[in-house]
């Protein structure tokens, strides 16, 4: 009985710590929230010197880099997952799975280092001018090409969400019963048509969950983005301009913040980030759990 009580207590500790995160952030963010109200998240100004804080540029940067990451990394990750689950020959499946999982093991500061010294110069000299030439009539793709900026941040995040989305999607796709495939093949469908019309629809909500898990990772990712986004609290008209994210501003300013209000504003940004990732993760978990545990393809 004592032992059961002890381990139950340790289980409750997990709950307590999770609750503690939310409570402590709310507590520390309170002064800034009282001073600025909801405007703290809707105003486009961030001026630590005049103690005027509105985190809209950071929220914009976080959302736009994450969307960029999903639209670039998502299809690649899904393609990888389909390859691993459906088309890869047996001898290739294990090694490629392992290598894709290794992408997740590389520390984010290493991605940042690579992004800063390899990816950013590469994008500045090749990819950005090409996009500018083709799509330059849109403000989103106009120069000047800095290298570091929102665009590079999005690409680095695209690489970092690949392992998450690919691994979860692969598991979800493999969870689709073989009956589905056999029935489709028996109708004379090609292997691709089987995947497209019998497997993917059945795995749809799980894949959506996988993409949301990737989104959660992209929203909260700090170091790699901090090193390549340019760190300027503004909303640039062009994707190539320098910006900021919620995580990056905490990483850069927290240890050097001098006034209590500045610290509190950063805590408020952290609280916003916490709530955002919490919602995304909860929805994602529910979707993935349903596919992994419930009947598949019952829609």
Partner 1 sequence: MDGYGYRTTVHYRRRKVVGRVFQGLTVLSAGLSVGVLFAVLGFVFVQGVSGLNLELLTQTPKPPGEPGGGVANAVVGTLLLVALACGFSLPVGIGAGIYLAEYGRSGVMAQLIRFIADVLTGVPSIVVGLFAYTVLVIPLGHFSALAGSFALGLIMLPTVVRATEEMLRLVPNSIREAGLALGIPGWKVTLRIVLPTALNGILTGILLAVARAAGETAPLLFTAFGNPFWNLDPTQPVAALPLQIFVYAISPYDDWHRQAWAGALVLVCLVLVASLAARLVRGRVMF
Query: Could you give phi then psi for residue 53, rounded to 5 degrees?
Result: -125, 130
- Binding to partner 1 (CB under 8 A) within 113-132 occurs at 113-114, 116-118
Is 96 a binder of partner 1 (CB under 8 A)? yes
CA distances from 14 to 144, 171, 281, 284 (A): 49, 27, 17, 20
Query: Could you give phi then psi for residue 49, rounded to 5 degrees?
Result: -70, -45
Is 200 a binder of partner 1 (CB under 8 A)? no
Residue 144, preceding peptide bond in cis (omega within 30° of 0): yes
- Binding to partner 1 (CB under 8 A) within 139-178 occurs at 159, 162-163, 166
Gap between the Cα atoms of 24 and 21, Å rounded: 5
Is 134 a binder of partner 1 (CB under 8 A)? no
Beta-bridge partner residues of 44: 55
Query: Could you give phi then psi for residue 52, rounded to 5 degrees?
Result: -120, 115
Nearby residues of 279 by Cβ (< 8 Å), 6 or more positions away: none
- Binding to partner 1 (CB under 8 A) within 56-75 occurs at 75
Query: Which pair of structure tokens corresponds to residue 2?
Result: 């004592």
Is 190 a binder of partner 1 (CB under 8 A)? yes
Listed ranges 30-38, 128-136, 233-241, 279-287: which one lies at the site for partner 1 (CB under 8 A): 279-287
Please pick, from the candidates 37, 99, 125, 179, the single residue that binds partner 1 as defined by CB under 8 A: 99
Listed ranges 47-55, 112-120, 174-182, 199-207: which one lies at the site for partner 1 (CB under 8 A): 112-120
Residue of 26, 34, 32, 25 lying closest to 51 (CA atoms): 32
In the chain, DSSP assigns E strands to 44-47, 52-55
Please pick, from the candidates 27, 121, 144, 201, the single residue that binds partner 1 as defined by CB under 8 A: 27
Is 184 a binder of partner 1 (CB under 8 A)? no
Listed ranges 127-135, 232-240, 245-253, 291-299: which one lies at the site for partner 1 (CB under 8 A): 245-253
Provide, rounded to whole angstroms, the least separation between the CB of residue 43 and partner 1: 22
Is 108 a binder of partner 1 (CB under 8 A)? yes
């Amino acid at each position: 009985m004592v032992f059961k009580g002890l381990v139950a207590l340790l289980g409750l500790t997990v709950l307590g710590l999770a609750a503690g995160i939310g409570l402590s952030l709310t507590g520390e963010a309170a002064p800034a929230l009282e001073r600025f109200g909801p405007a703290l998240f809707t105003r486009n100004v961030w001026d630590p010197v005049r103690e005027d804080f509105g985190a809209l540029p950071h929220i914009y940067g976080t959302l736009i880099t994450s969307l960029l990451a999903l639209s670039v990394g998502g299809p690649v990750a899904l393609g990888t997952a389909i390859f691993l689950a459906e088309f890869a020959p047996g001898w290739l499946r294990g090694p490629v799975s392992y290598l894709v999982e290794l992408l997740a093991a590389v520390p984010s500061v290493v991605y940042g280092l690579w992004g800063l010294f390899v990816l950013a110069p590469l994008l500045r000299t090749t990819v950005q001018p090409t996009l500018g030439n083709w799509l330059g009539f849109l403000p989103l793709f106009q120069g000047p090409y800095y290298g570091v900026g929102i665009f590079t941040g999005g690409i680095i995040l695209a690489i970092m969400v690949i392992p998450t989305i690919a691994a979860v999607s692969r598991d979800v796709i493999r969870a689709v019963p073989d009956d589905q495939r056999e029935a489709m093949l028996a109708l004379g469908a090609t292997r691709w048509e089987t995947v497209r019309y019998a497997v993917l629809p059945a795995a749809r909500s799980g894949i959506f969950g996988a993409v949301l898990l990737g989104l959660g990772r992209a929203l909260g990712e700090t170091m790699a983005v901090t090193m390549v986004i340019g760190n300027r609290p503004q909303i640039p008209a062009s994707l190539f301009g320098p910006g900021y994210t919620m995580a990056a501003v905490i990483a850069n300013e927290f240890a050097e913040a001098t006034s209590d209000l500045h610290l509190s504003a950063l805590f408020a940004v952290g609280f916003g980030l916490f709530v955002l990732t919490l919602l995304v993760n909860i929805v994602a978990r529910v979707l993935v759990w349903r596919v992994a545990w419930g009947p598949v393809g019952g829609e």
